[in-house]
Structure 1
Amino acid sequence: MTFPEPHYVDTNGIRMAVYEQGPKDGVPVVMCHGFPEIAYSWRHQMPALAKAGFRAIAPDMRGYGRTGGPKGEDAVPLYDIHHLTDDLAGLLDALELDKAIFAGHDWGGMVVWQMPLRHADRVAGVIGVNTPFIPRGPIDPIEGMRAVFGEDMYIVYFQQFGVAEKIFEKDVARSMRFWYRKSPMKLADFDKLPAEEKNLSFLKSFATDESTWGGEQLLNAEELAYYTKAFETSGYEGGINWYRNFTRNWQLTEGQTEKVTAPSLMISAADDIVLRPEMTIGMEQYVPDLEKHVIPDCGHWTQSEKPEELNALMVDWLKRRFG
């Protein structure tokens, strides 16, 4: 599969790498990746949307891939939700687009659900892939995760600047092989595990011999090489900085009206142990115009694991609502 080469736009103080397929006059769909991903994560979706007549746009987000981003501990606040959403508004400005449909997976999903709260006039629709709309909680989310899961939970562990990235950057190809695996078990089986095995302490598994890792490898050699080259270039610091802004984002969004009025599609994966399908229960309170689906037998990496099923759901909804 030939993935397009990027063009570059200046937005919000960064030079963003943008990959496109489809007609320039098609309804624009901006696809936002999560961690540890890049625009290439949408390689199966872009041609499907383009074939359906949509303008598929996928950026390497701030800190990732050919976009990269500011470095150093002082730069951590430059990865907060205001910067991440303003990057996308600036992307539309650079492409001379008034509005777009925003699709997001993992952390990209958190960003696209914030777009209609911060830039409502730029959002025609929202597609959440695995990531639901998550309302602001009553306590600092990092303190909440620390209380429930402990210090080894990966998001809590990521709060230490410079620690996790050194571990992952020691052997980038190995790191990508660790992350990109099909879910080793059904969600129901995960729920039966003892509590000490459910604290999401992925780094303990990462330290073990590769032969002990659960789940089938998801990437072929060409795909692994593409991801490896990207992260050898950018490193992991920028991407992990997104996690270091959980507390700051919680503080910044105090008092924010939590209502998404744009047409929205939520696609969950039945066996994603972090972004569980039941997290979408009650979303309609915040997202009134909402359609929901669950892809069976699918773990966290939905775009790669079940591309045809995801493409069909996205294209069908897009044609019905924007065709």
Structure 2
Amino acid sequence: MALEPLRLPDGITSKTLRVRDLNMHTLQVGRHSSPLVLLLHGFPELAFSWRHIMLPLANSGYFVVAPDHRGTGRTQSITPLSRQIQFEDDIAPYGLLNWTQDVVALVYALGYTTAAAVVGHDFGSSVAGYCALVRPDIFKSVVCMSAPYGGPPELPFKVEDTALSPPSRTLPPAVSLNQYLNSLSPPLKHYVVYNTQLTTNHDMLDAPQGLHTFLRAYFHVKSADWDGNDPHPLTHISELSNLPQYYILPLTSSWPDVVMLHAPSEDEIRRNTWLPEHDLEVYVCEFRRTGFQGGLNWYRANFTDASLIDQLRIFAGKKVEVPAAFISGVKDWGVYQIPGSVEKMRSIFTQMADEDFVLVKDAGHWVQQEQPKAVVEQLLGFLQRSSEQQV
């Protein structure tokens, strides 16, 4: 069945390409002969989340492409399933190395061998970071947004007797933090771990308040519109319990439970200019059709599958040596949700200038949607500086 055309700004086109085992849906704008900029979305978002910044970037001389990631939006397996993606499906394709390979293959499918920049938001930030880490010959610069790039998992620096001391299986930070949260009274849980659970897709898709109302509340509480957001660096894991409940949930709560506590009023919805009802409805229609499990599988693959996590250790200790930037909203708790994550990112990015760590005023987690003009300004400035470095 043919899908309804997406509601897109004039000039942005919707195109599907064969990329590995996918019919990958993309949004594109600009001259195909111009330098390529790739925009990688996060969760629960789509290529549509870049709609406000694509045309300004293209008008400044770039060919701009935003894909729907594997398992999301209008991207499908070459042999599409007749059902929504299920929890029981194979999660190996959602591992970070395979996702990075998707992006490399997309560059070639577009007819390019290099990209001026790969820009990733939320979990797209991790994918962008690995693109720059693994293939700096292709990706000439990298911009991470809202989620600091943590780099590959570590190997033990020294092992005295490998027969008696096997390589460390250090847990991902969010998982080890979750163990601490579970021990509190009352017990809490980290949202990353919640996103790996069997019931999460059902919780979101079949929210008691309805999908539209749930998504409206979800986008609201993680934006600068909600005055409960007051992000600041954390020095110890004991401070995690002070984070908003959309990051640190009560042990028995779901996403709808916590975001509906601070749902926007009718007046706040009317005053929202960055996500009007007709744009929100795009997300509602797409996720009602596909469910959320494709995006949730990213969390499952990269936080619960030891073999997929272990694959990344081949890059242990490797730095990102192309020009790098970080952009987020000043009201985005994602920057500080894991103590020390900013400092770790800056140690991994060897070419990140102080001016390229930017927290945008009057923006929360959805910075490219909330304050697109400011994001475009920062991206163009960074792209200009990085191109000068490469001359």
**Residue 271 of structure 1: aligned partner:** 331
1:229 and 2:285 correspond: yes
CA positional deviation for 1:156: 1.1
In the aligned structure 1, how far is the partner of 2:315 from the partner of 2:233? 35
**Residue 171 of structure 2: aligned partner:** 140
CA positional deviation for 1:66: 0.4
1:92 and 2:113 correspond: no
User: CA separation of 1:85/1:166 partners in 2, compared to 1, >3 Å: closer, same or farther?
Assistant: same
SS at structure 1 position matched to 2:385: helix
Instruction: Give RMSD over aligned pairs.
Output: 2.7
SS at structure 2 position matched to 1:146: helix
SS at structure 1 position matched to 2:349: coil
User: In the TM superposition, what whole-angstrom CA distance separates every residue of 1:84-112 from its partner, at most 9, and x where no partner exists?
Assistant: 11111111111110011100000001100
The within-5 A match list for 1:206-221 is: 206-207=256-257, 210=260, 212-213=262-263, 217=269, 219-221=275-277
User: In the TM superposition, what whole-angstrom CA distance separates every residue of 1:252-302 from its partner, at most 9, and x where no partner exists?
Assistant: 211314211111121132221123297322534321111322213321110
In the aligned structure 1, how far is the partner of 2:344 from the partner of 2:233? 23
The within-5 A match list for 1:42-121 is: 42-68=50-76, 71-72=85-86, 73-100=88-115, 101-121=117-137
In the aligned structure 1, how far is the partner of 2:23 from the partner of 2:192? 28
Contact 1:12/1:83 (8 A) holds in 2: no
User: In the TM superposition, what whole-angstrom CA distance separates every residue of 1:99-149 from its partner, at most 9, and x where no partner exists?
Assistant: 111000000011000112223322111011122221345521153132133
The within-5 A match list for 1:157-306 is: 157-161=194-198, 163-170=199-206, 171-181=210-220, 182-183=223-224, 184=226, 185-188=228-231, 196=241, 198=243, 200-202=247-249, 203-204=253-254, 206-207=256-257, 210=260, 212-213=262-263, 217=269, 219-247=275-303, 248=305, 249-257=308-316, 258-276=318-336, 279-290=341-352, 291-306=356-371
Contact 1:105/1:130 (8 A) holds in 2: yes
SS at structure 1 position matched to 2:369: helix
Aligned amino acid, residue 201 of structure 2:
E
User: CA separation of 1:209/1:274 partners in 2, compared to 1, >3 Å: closer, same or farther?
Assistant: closer
TM-score, normalised to structure 2, is 0.75
Contact 1:190/1:273 (8 A) holds in 2: no
User: CA separation of 1:46/1:242 partners in 2, compared to 1, >3 Å: closer, same or farther?
Assistant: same
Contact 2:97/2:312 (8 A) holds in 1: no
Contact 1:18/1:59 (8 A) holds in 2: yes
Unaligned runs of 5+ in 2: 1-7, 155-169, 183-187
In the aligned structure 2, how far is the partner of 1:212 from the partner of 1:105? 24
User: CA separation of 1:74/1:310 partners in 2, compared to 1, >3 Å: closer, same or farther?
Assistant: same
In the aligned structure 1, how far is the partner of 2:255 from the partner of 2:175? 23
User: In the TM superposition, what whole-angstrom CA distance separates every residue of 1:196-255 from its partner, at most 9, and x where no partner exists?
Assistant: 453624554622694743695552111111111111122101000001012334322113
Contact 1:61/1:67 (8 A) holds in 2: yes
**Residue 309 of structure 1: aligned partner:** 374
User: In the TM superposition, what whole-angstrom CA distance separates every residue of 1:143-198 from its partner, at most 9, and x where no partner exists?
Assistant: 3132133363221122223x11111111332232122112423425897x986453
Aligned amino acid, residue 381 of structure 2:
D
Identify which range, 281-290 or 111-120, moves more after superposition.
281-290
User: CA separation of 1:115/1:213 partners in 2, compared to 1, >3 Å: closer, same or farther?
Assistant: same
Q: Percent identity over the alignment?
A: 24
In the aligned structure 2, how far is the partner of 1:284 from the partner of 1:209? 32
User: CA separation of 1:318/1:300 partners in 2, compared to 1, >3 Å: closer, same or farther?
Assistant: same
User: CA separation of 1:109/1:165 partners in 2, compared to 1, >3 Å: closer, same or farther?
Assistant: same
User: CA separation of 1:5/1:298 partners in 2, compared to 1, >3 Å: closer, same or farther?
Assistant: same
Aligned amino acid, residue 322 of structure 2:
A
In the aligned structure 1, how far is the partner of 2:346 from the partner of 2:111? 32
Aligned amino acid, residue 165 of structure 1:
N
TM-score, normalised to structure 1, is 0.89
Contact 1:103/1:109 (8 A) holds in 2: yes
In the aligned structure 2, how far is the partner of 1:186 from the partner of 1:155? 19
Identify which range, 35-44 or 114-123, moves more after superposition.
114-123
Contact 1:64/1:234 (8 A) holds in 2: yes
User: CA separation of 1:126/1:190 partners in 2, compared to 1, >3 Å: closer, same or farther?
Assistant: closer
Q: If you compute each CA radius of gyration, which structure gives the higher value, 1 or 2?
A: 2
Unaligned runs of 5+ in 1: none
Identify which range, 211-220 or 226-235, moves more after superposition.
211-220
Identify which range, 77-86 or 254-263, moves more after superposition.
254-263
